Amino acid sequence: METRLDRYQGARETKLNQLRELIDKSENIVFLGGAGVSTASGIPDFRSGEGIFNQESGLKYRAVDVVSHSFFVEHPEEFYDFYRRKLCYPDAKPNKAHKALARLERQGKLKAIITQNIDNLHQLGGSHNTIELHGSVYRNYCVQCNKKYKLDDILATDGIPHCTRCGGIIRPDVTLYEENLDHSKVDAAIKALKKCDLLIIGGTSLSVYPAATFVQFIKHGNIVIINKSSTYLDLQAKLTIHDAIGEVLDEVVPKRRTKAQIEAAKQLRIKEEKARIRAEQRLAKKKAADSTK
């Protein structure tokens, strides 16, 4: 919870230590991230003062209108002009946040990354369990025959890209405004959230739905917010840190797992296995008792 403590020297280190402790005690962490995760990689966010929605679009239309389904259908040439200039960053590299999350996954603690980003940087940073809510610019397909295309195929063309097989328009596999999210991705995100023992939310203002409502699936209080600006959840979270997500994660996620952490994880797995066996034994006894009635 954000308090006046933030105003005093030493408050940041106190909060980092609290986060370290939460991570150390957790074995099923989920990370929910937004555009702020990738800004250190040179990719602008959308809603900050320097964000894409507050920049000149280079067109006679507002940027927020360009990234809509109706605009793509009605003005595909202008859409692709904006798309190539403002949404595609093929030279971007994973930053400290992406690398720290990959470390946390390798250490067996981070079970899923739920990202609203479309830049593929989590995967490039080494993460494998990534749920891309809004798709990826690295996947594209023909709207008529569904032939798949890479980002390089789109960037190698001018104007509207057309399918080499049937001549149909190619579109990016990203969710635009006015479109529904892939239900399988939402279901996977909710499933991961329900299982987690710690939710870390970072680099997002929590103003985009449905991701902004995902916290409702958390039945415990272990929620951490790491974001430069405030969110509507700041006062409800167990811990809120107003700082750059990459700097924070790089400091709190160890470069390698300690022997104590490995042993603690081993003991936790043994405990869980014993609990599972006991539950199965109780169920078997109940079924046996019921069958004799």
Q: How far apart, in whole angstroms, are the C-alpha atoms of residue 84 and residue 78?
A: 10
Strands 223-226 and 239-241: parallel
Strand order across the 170-174 sheet: 148-149, 135-142, 170-174
Nearest alpha-carbon partner for 12 in 232, 226, 201? 226
Q: Give the active site residue among 134, 162, 183, 220.
A: 134
Residue 54 structure tokens: 């507050």
State yes or no: is 134 an active-site residue.
Answer: yes
- For residue 43, the number of C-alpha atoms closer than 13 Å in the C-beta half-sphere is 22
**Please, which residues bridge with residue 239 across strands?**
224
Residue 151 structure tokens: 């980002």
Q: How far apart, in whole angstroms, are the C-alpha atoms of residue 24 and residue 203?
A: 22
User: Could you give the residue numbers annotated as active site?
Assistant: 134
